[in-house]
Amino acid sequence: MADVGASPLLELRGVTNTFGALKANDGVSLAVGAGRIHALLGENGAGKSTLVKIVFGVLKPDSGDMLWQGAPVEVASPAAARKLGIGMVFQHFSLFDAMTVAENVALGLDGARADAALERRIVEVAESYGLPLDPRRATHTLSVGERQRIEIVRALLQDPKLLVMDEPTSVLTPQEVERLFVTLRKLRDEGRSILYISHKLREIEELCDAATILRQGRVVAEVDPRRTDARRMAELMIGSELKGVARPAARAPGEVRLAVRGLDLPPEGQFETPLRGASFEVRAGEVLGIAGVAGNGQVELMRALTGERRAPRADMILLDGAPVGALGPEARRKLGLAGAPEERNGHAAVGDMSLADNAFLSARHVRGLTSRGALRPRAARAYARDVIAAFAVKAGGPDALARSLSGGNLQKYVVGREMLQAPKVFVVAQPTWGVDAGATAAIRQAIVDLAAGGAAVVVVSQDLDELREISDRLVALNAGRVSRAVDAASASVEEIGLMMGGVHGEPPAATGGAVGLAH
């Protein structure tokens, strides 16, 4: 085991990596000591993932050196990285749904077979680190947290000295995060190192021994997260002062604008989540947050709300009291329901079209951008210009291609395009996903302001902090079911976490009994 003062386990010196005109990493140096949990902190696009890919041998740096236990190494491939003792848990799992746990583990180990011996080792490792896992289960039956365990166990089976984890908690409930941290601390206490990539400051404060902060591909600071204020770290990360959302004074909510009543939606494909009796209401002037771990029906719910998929019965979705469940997106927009799905490029906008053309996608009816089947390009350009100005979109103008905009700017454009139609109801998914801090603040403020103006807003997000910041009430989505609503300001993280995990805190069969009495 390395002593303090000995050479670090992993050291990067002056790593630079360029993609076209973009410098993803610019002279990055960092050192991960043995037996330490080292955070790599930065916003989306700061260059964290690129750096990790270099460490794991997926990418080759343009220049710079990597040292392993003090000796220069060249990691030519992930297999070479594994041989050195580097394990990796990617943000997006590489698992085959149709295979068992053991088969998926075997695929990731060079030359292993899913036999009884491997199953025994999986159970052994899983139990000793508090990661219960049945090697014979089919992967598609597992929750996201359990799938992550497969990846972790797979990495641990190779007895790594360094475990790299890329945004491991983005798919977990708060309780699952706690459990993961116990495991990670145990690994550290055994003398292993962990390179922990995240942009969640609270986790880093709680877990990590050291932190390297990246901004625009450069190291801007090395801090001790246990002794550094989270606010300070955030400001280093985004390079400017943090701005909070200004919320209007609490008012009595208005009438119900959007009501979802017992919405069932069968899955369209094998791996979709069915919606099961989803019910909730949103009132004028209110922001309803829908929390939940990805894959619990968010995408399906968004489609059902915007009309991309019809509800089985029209009265399952009511807009201002009128049934709209059988209507398509165009008809719902005419009635004042606007939506912005989470995928900007290719869903909410067409990358290869100009911003003006993208205005036709969703604003053509409400803003009169067409007349008798003919496009009105001038009206569309004027509208795009309005959106660009009102939402401070950094773009070359209405003729700029959507894909030429950064993620944050395109998101501002999409959100602005919907909001300037003055919708009565606005549903938006992951409004600030992959968006830089400045744009995030602007978008959250716009959402709050829209509701203050009398609209009902539904925000589907995986970011609990975001939901607590902008919502009035919260529900959670779990396996296609919607929990009861709680007050966003007073609900504890634990309570919301339980809701996200499917424990809804309702007295069992209470509703069923009430129906029985009515007869």
Least distance (Å) from other proteins to the CB of residue 194?
24
CA distances from 34 to 87, 167, 188 (A): 14, 21, 9
For residue 76, state whether it binds other proteins (rule: CB under 8 A). Answer: yes
How many residues bind to other proteins according to rule CB under 8 A? 36
For residue 79, state whether it binds other proteins (rule: CB under 8 A). Answer: no
CA distances from 449 to 78, 228, 247, 251, 390 (A): 48, 33, 8, 13, 13
CA distance 510 to 514: 7
For residue 269, state whether it binds other proteins (rule: CB under 8 A). Answer: no
Residue 364 vs 412, nearer CB to other proteins:
364
Q: How many DSSP H helices and E strands does the chain contain?
A: 17, 23
Least distance (Å) from other proteins to the CB of residue 137?
32
Least distance (Å) from other proteins to the CB of residue 364?
7
Largest CA distance in the chain: 79
Exactly one of 138, 353, 491, 503 binds other proteins (CB under 8 A); that residue is 353
Residue 150 vs 337, nearer CB to other proteins:
337
CA distance 371 to 167: 48
Exactly one of 134, 343, 386, 449 binds other proteins (CB under 8 A); that residue is 343
Do the beta carbons of residue 436 and residue 45 sit within 8 Å?
Answer: yes
Q: Which residues are within 8 A (CB) of 121 and not within 5 positions of it... i.e. 6 or more apart?
A: 157
Among 351-359, 383-391, 438-446, 466-474, which window interacts with other proteins (CB under 8 A)? Answer: 351-359
CA distance 445 to 453: 12
CA distances from 472 to 173, 289, 348, 419, 487 (A): 21, 7, 26, 19, 6
CA distance 195 to 36: 8
Tell which positions 292-311 bind other proteins, by CB under 8 A.
Answer: 306-308
CA distance 463 to 205: 18
Least distance (Å) from other proteins to the CB of residue 374?
5
**How many Cβ atoms sit within 10 Å of the Cβ of residue 494?**
11
Q: Which of 385, 182, 171 is nearest to 295 (CA)?
A: 171
Exactly one of 99, 138, 294, 375 binds other proteins (CB under 8 A); that residue is 375
Q: What angle do CA 265, 271, 273 make, to 5 degrees?
A: 30
For residue 418, which amino acid is it? E
Exactly one of 89, 114, 348, 450 binds other proteins (CB under 8 A); that residue is 348
Residue 291 vs 301, nearer CB to other proteins:
301
Residue 121 vs 303, nearer CB to other proteins:
303
For residue 74, state whether it binds other proteins (rule: CB under 8 A). Answer: yes
Tell which positions 6-35 bind other proteins, by CB under 8 A.
Answer: 19-20
CA distance 288 to 24: 37
Residue 3 vs 74, nearer CB to other proteins:
74
For residue 72, state whether it binds other proteins (rule: CB under 8 A). Answer: yes
Residues 377-416, mask of contacts with other proteins (x by CB under 8 A):
x---------------------------------------
Binding site for other proteins (CB under 8 A): 19-20, 60, 72-74, 76, 306-308, 328-331, 333, 339, 341, 343, 346-353, 357, 360-362, 364, 370, 373-375, 377
